[in-house]
Structure 1
Amino acid sequence: MYVGEGSKVYPQFDENASPLPLQRIGVILCPGFFLTFVVIHSIVFCCSIYLEFYHRKIGKLIKFIKPDLQKRLGLASIVVGIMAQIFFIAQSVCGYVFVTQGKRMLNHYAELLATFAILVMISLALNFTNYYIMGQYYRKYVNGERWNKFTISFIVKIIWLVVTIMLAAICCGFYVRGRKDIADVFEWAFHLWYGFLMAFWTYDLYPLTELKSLKRGAEKVPKRRFSFWNKEKVDIVTHVTNADSNLTPSTSQSMRDFDSPGFNYTNYNPSSPV
Structure 2
Amino acid sequence: MKKSRGSRASSISSPCPSLPPLPPPPSTPMSSDEDPMPAAVAEVEDLLGYRFSDASLIAEALTHSSDAEHASYQRLEFVGDAALGLAFTNYFYLTNPSLGPGQLSVLRAANISTEKLARVAVRHGLYRFLRRNSPKLDQMVEEFTMVVKREIEEDFDGLPYGGSLVKAPKVLADVVESIAAAVYVDCGFNLEKLWKVFRGILEPIITVGTWDEQPVTSLYEYCQKKGSRWISRTGGRVFEYYKCVC
TM-score normalised according to structure 1 size:
0.27
Which has the larger helix fraction? 1
Which one has a bigger Cα radius of gyration?
A: 1
Which has the larger strand fraction? 2
Using CA pairs below 8 Å that are at least 6 residues apart, which structure has the higher relative contact order? 2
